[in-house]
Amino acid sequence: MTRCRILSVTLALALGLGLGAGAAMADLSTGLIAHYPFDGNVADASANGNHGSIVGALVSTTDRYGAPNTAYEFNGTNTYVHVPSSASLSSPTNQITMCAWVLLYGNSKVGSPFSPILMKSTDPGNGFMYRMLVSTSYFGAAYINWNLTQTTGVTVYNQWAHLATTYDGVKHRFYLNGAARDSVPLGITMTADFALPITLAAGGLQPGCVELRTGGERCGSASSVSRGAS
């Protein structure tokens, strides 16, 4: 993974993300599995109690507005967040949304030239249920030991970016800073794996906020992704 800064991460069972102009506000708790705002700790802000623990000398730093203690800087080698497995983290089957605010300083320092933002695994190479990843020229997601889809022609480097992926059982959609980027057909079903924990930024990433969602309509308070974009 590369050195990077993360503001927040969200995981959910969701179709469509955020709310564009003219859309009705959604209940942010609907379908929410986990939300990590990184506001001075690695606690889960959802009601599911998927709290994390810090591995390594993780540095609390500023977010995209310069506010202190509102993001974490991962060193790209041995700092990450560990979240124990739970029923809610193992619940996605054919619908899932993952999004994060990320400041990427380069490609991975170890292994492949991409950095996992969030993965249900302890291995940055293989053996995962789901994963969201980023490099300097694309971001993507993969399920059940790959089934990888990704964006093309985007620059995610040296600047804060809101990255979001959503899978509805038929299509995998990607959003960059609230705008639809790509849509890829995909037909897979995930099998629950209660043994695997969640790891955030394991393998060399530096993000700011992470959220995992599964059925709500909004991912991350700063996103503005409209339902049904293709």
pLDDT for 5: 65
Alpha carbon distances (Å) from 142 to 24, 51, 53, 63 = 30, 23, 24, 27
Residues of the chain with pLDDT > 70, as a percent, come to: 70
CATH 3.40.50.300 fits 4-213, yes or no: no
**Radius of gyration of the chain, Cα coordinates, nearest whole angstrom:** 15
Mean pLDDT, range 181-205, rounded to an integer? 83
The mean pLDDT of the chain is: 74
Q: Which helix (H) or strand (E) holds 100?
A: strand 96-104
pLDDT tier, 3 (very low <50, low <70, confident <90, very high otherwise): low
DSSP state of 39: S
pLDDT for 31: 81
Q: Which amino acid is at 147?
A: N
pLDDT for 53: 95
What pLDDT, in 10s, does the model give residues 57-106?
888 888 888 888 888 888 777 888 999 999 999 988 888 888 888 888 76
Whether 52 has a pLDDT exceeding 50, the answer reads yes
Q: Which amino acid is at 68?
A: P
Where in the chain are the domains? Answer: 4-213
pLDDT: is 131 or 107 the higher one?
131
pLDDT for 2: 46
pLDDT tier, 32 (very low <50, low <70, confident <90, very high otherwise): confident
Apex 45 CA angle, 207 and 19, nearest 5 = 75
Cα separation of 161 and 120, whole Å? 22
Cα separation of 163 and 211, whole Å? 11
What pLDDT, in 10s, does the model give residues 118-176?
888 766 566 688 888 888 888 888 888 777 788 877 877 788 888 889 888 888 899 99
